[in-house]
Structure 1
Amino acid sequence: MANSPGPAKRYLPFGGMLSNPDWGIGRTKAYRSRPGRVETVKPEERLFALRQLEVTYDKARETLWTYMKPDGRPSYNPDMLADFRSWQDGIEAKFSGEDSNLRYLVLGSRYQGVFSFGGDLRLFAQKIRQRDRETLVGYGNACVEILHRNMNALGLPIVTIGLVQGDALGGGFESLLSFDVVVAEKGAKFGFPEILFGLFPGMGAFSFLARRIGSNKAQELILSGKTYTAEDMHAMGVVHVLAEPGKGEAAVQDYIARSSRRHNGHRAIYQAAREVDRISLLELKKIVSIWADAALKLRDQDLKIMERLVAAQDRLGVQTAAA
């Protein structure tokens, strides 16, 4: 008997493959529940069934809570980026319109002690060794497209909140800068270690930081390679609300309770700030190209440092799973 062809694989625009090859990336996904039958799943239905994002809706506070649950290392692997795109599509589909009942969007992490370590360093090292610029640029563009939509609050009348209950390094720190409000527990660590292996955070960090703390200070922070505490970031104006360790969620709830009566004014001032400090998607993508070109110039010893960081992250994952 002839072999039956398996389901066609769907590839992401940055070179990764979806965990479930039957899922696409568009606004309406086709799902093959069994051979010969295709069902259409709307983005708003997919919103609460994402693999690496835990999503719940608090109707009383009109708040969507989302927590990252990464497969393996706490970094933005290609499948997580696909989940983030589906998450954004689902939010837009479910809560757009004049009768929207969403006012706050919160993103945190379920990974103990870590918000996110950011970019997929193992993928980076592999693609650099293969001289695969196209995949590096594709990955970076996928990241900045997500951050640009988040920075613009998905075009919805909402306030976005980043909840930091652990370390936010590299792209993890970078992604937080796209939120209107950052709530961080004291002692959480922030920083950009990329300079340690001859690179820089190329997916929005400089654009976001320069507009918040000035170009000179942004350069200093990125080039230092230093690790900063949440208290340091609060003093710089990057973290807006400090919380006691273990009290991050309560601090977010308190912020929402205190600001909800003035939500319209808060939302409007953040929207105005985006107009004053406009960041275009074109700017972000140009910097991704600079980042990819710089990545391809890394030496073997630089890549070995990157790979040692990956190994350290893997060990942390094993320890966390065993705890």
Structure 2
Amino acid sequence: MPAADPATDLVLVEHQGPVAVVTINRPAKYNAISPAVVTALDAALGALGADPRVRAIILTGAGKAFAAGADISFYAQADREEFTAFTGRCNALCDRIATSPVPVVAAVRGLALGGGFELVLSCDVVVAEQGAAFGLPEVSLGLLPGWGGTQRLTWHVGPNRAKWLIMSGERLDATTAEALGIVTHICDTDALLPVALRVADALAAQSPRRPSPRFERP
């Protein structure tokens, strides 16, 4: 894979031994997820999943946020057909993460809202800084989460708590998200990537053979 340009690339990929760190790189937009970001993420994750040298993936965001959700500027100008197509592509991206042939660790700094939270819910393990915040605020726009988040959140927290979080748009702090089983590790802000790398290295050190059939939630 060619070297990424941090100044222009929407997704950066860095290899640290058997672990690949994938970074959404729109810090000025709080890593809002645009169609171009989806294309770049899907291509990067597809290539890494097919690379036998990669044994684990860390998914994170540049700057102060993991991802603040879908790019609202795209929603504002998209017609119904474009919106539906974008939703389908994002749903497929979350499915790619959830069915990755290697474990995917979310490293969450700052906001993981809307589509950003749906990406997190697709990951196998979640490391979050103390100040991280999670939520599905789509209800404030008259929308429902459309990237598989309604199902994945329900698998994590149960139907009634999921309905409350979806219908109220309430944000969760890292401690609450950990208590609900969404977050697996909490750390100080400065320790986020080192902790995520330790977690990913521990996963990468296990047998490369995945159980078959793959675990499926009810």
Does the C-alpha gap of structure 1 residues 71 and 164 become closer, same or farther in structure 2, counting only changes over 3 Å? Answer: closer
The aligned counterpart of 1:53 is 11
Counterpart AA for 1:139: F
Find the aligned partners of 2:27 and 2:155 in 1 and give their Cα distance: 33
Instruction: Please state how far the C-alpha of 1:235 moved relative to its aligned partner.
Output: 0.5
Instruction: Please state how far the C-alpha of 1:221 moved relative to its aligned partner.
Output: 1.2
SS in 2 for 1:75: coil
Q: Tell me, yes or no, if the aligned pair for 2:129 and 2:186 is still in contact at 8 Å.
A: yes
The correspondence for 1:237, drawn from 178, 181, 197, is 181
Give unmatched runs, 5+ long, in structure 1: 1-44, 279-323
Q: Tell me, yes or no, if the aligned pair for 2:128 and 2:183 is still in contact at 8 Å.
A: yes
Equivalent residues, number: 214
The correspondence for 2:207, drawn from 241, 245, 264, is 264
User: Could you report, residue by residue, the CA deviation over 1:216-269 in whole angstroms, capped at 9, with x for unpaired residues?
Assistant: 2211111121121011100000011111222111211232454554x2399549
5 Å-filtered alignment, 1:140-289, equals 140-153=87-100, 156=101, 158-261=102-205, 263-264=206-207, 268=211, 272-273=214-215, 275=216, 277=217
Counterpart AA for 1:151: A
Find the aligned partners of 1:267 and 1:249 in 2 and give their Cα distance: 25
Instruction: Please state how far the C-alpha of 1:144 moved relative to its aligned partner.
Output: 0.8
Q: Tell me, yes or no, if the aligned pair for 2:87 and 2:147 is still in contact at 8 Å.
A: yes
User: Could you report, residue by residue, the CA deviation over 1:290-319 in whole angstroms, capped at 9, with x for unpaired residues?
Assistant: xxxxxxxxxxxxxxxxxxxxxxxxxxxxxx
Instruction: Please state how far the C-alpha of 1:140 moved relative to its aligned partner.
Output: 0.4
Q: Tell me, yes or no, if the aligned pair for 1:160 and 1:180 is still in contact at 8 Å.
A: yes
The correspondence for 1:135, drawn from 82, 85, 105, is 82
The correspondence for 1:85, drawn from 36, 42, 52, is 42
Instruction: Please state how far the C-alpha of 1:92 moved relative to its aligned partner.
Output: 3.8
Find the aligned partners of 1:161 and 1:231 in 2 and give their Cα distance: 18
Instruction: Please state how far the C-alpha of 1:103 moved relative to its aligned partner.
Output: 1.2
Find the aligned partners of 1:217 and 1:159 in 2 and give their Cα distance: 27
The aligned counterpart of 1:105 is 57
The correspondence for 1:125, drawn from 68, 72, 76, is 76
SS in 1 for 2:105: strand
Does the C-alpha gap of structure 1 residues 266 and 174 become closer, same or farther in structure 2, counting only changes over 3 Å? Answer: farther
Q: Tell me, yes or no, if the aligned pair for 1:159 and 1:266 is still in contact at 8 Å.
A: no
The correspondence for 2:25, drawn from 61, 69, 72, is 69
Does the C-alpha gap of structure 1 residues 139 and 186 become closer, same or farther in structure 2, counting only changes over 3 Å? Answer: same
Structure showing greater Rg: 1
4+ residue runs of structure 1 moved beyond 6 angstroms? none
Choose between structure 1 and 2 for higher RCO, CA contacts under 8 A separated by at least 6 residues.
Answer: 2
TM-score, scaled to structure 1: 0.61
Give unmatched runs, 5+ long, in structure 2: none
Find the aligned partners of 1:218 and 1:66 in 2 and give their Cα distance: 28
TM-score, scaled to structure 2: 0.89
Find the aligned partners of 2:105 and 2:154 in 1 and give their Cα distance: 20
